[in-house]
Amino acid sequence: QKEVEQNSGPLSVPEGAIASLNCTYSDRVSQSFFWYRQYSGKSPELIMSIYSNGDKEDGRFTAQLNKASQYVSLLIRDSQPSDSATYLCASYSGAGSYQLTFGKGTKLSVIP
Amino acid sequence: SAVISQKPSRDICQRGTSLTIQCQVDSQVTMMFWYRQQPGQSLTLIATANQGSEATYESGFVIDKFPISRPNLTFSTLTVSNMSPEDSSIYLCSVGQGVRNGYTFGSGTRLTVV
């Protein structure tokens, strides 16, 4: 069974610090990975996708993928109180199905 | 990315009744999904809505309880039938535009069954 694991948190960081969110996955053939941000009472919003080993940067966000370790991370630099949300990690494995497998999410609180 | 209009945004329903949720996309999409998110939980896939054929349901979800229509590549409905309080949840439609581009979610329907 495909699983995506995340620490539920809450993860608290001071404003301006780097927030590090981690995710592991069980399906070795997983091809693509996504980070979604979900504010309370809102639907998930895609913020990063990654499918190659290494780092991918977009503004203050950096996604990191290590397929050998089956590990995905999201770094948020210069964290802002507006980054306070639940971050969902998701994987896509292909194999005839287009569905994503989601982790339970990590709740991030950025303290002013 | 695609723009999704989902409605209703919320509803309070009596047990035993049914509610139909609509999802309209501003462009043709091949992949459309329906998810449920219970309070404080992550997303659980209910089914994949297939255009012109029966939906593909995940384990634990059945067509009689969650009938889905997908008449074309821009529209789908999910019906929650014979509702009980356990069906109180947020229901979300999602569309895919290529697995490397990720999937976009509608704004969700917050359902409360009393």
pLDDT digits (tens, 9 = 90+) for A13-45: 999 999 999 999 998 888 899 999 999 989 999
Q: Do B107 and A105 touch (CB under 8 A)?
A: no
Determine the pLDDT at residue B33. 95
pLDDT digits (tens, 9 = 90+) for A52-77: 999 999 999 999 999 999 999 999 99
Residue A98 above 80 pLDDT? Answer: no
pLDDT digits (tens, 9 = 90+) for B24-70: 999 998 889 999 999 888 899 999 998 888 899 999 999 999 999 99
Please, which pLDDT band fits residue A95 given cuts at 50, 70 and 90? low
Among the partner-chain residues B1, B96, B106, the one whose CB lies closest to the CB of A98 is: B96
Chain A residues with CB under 8 Å of a chain B CB are 31-32, 34, 42-46, 49, 51, 88, 92, 94, 97-100, 102-105
Tell me the nearest-neighbour CA distance from B16 into chain A, angstroms.
Answer: 26
Q: Which stretches does DSSP call E strand in chain B?
A: 4-7, 10-13, 19-25, 31-37, 43-49, 56-57, 68-72, 75-80, 89-96, 103-105, 109-113
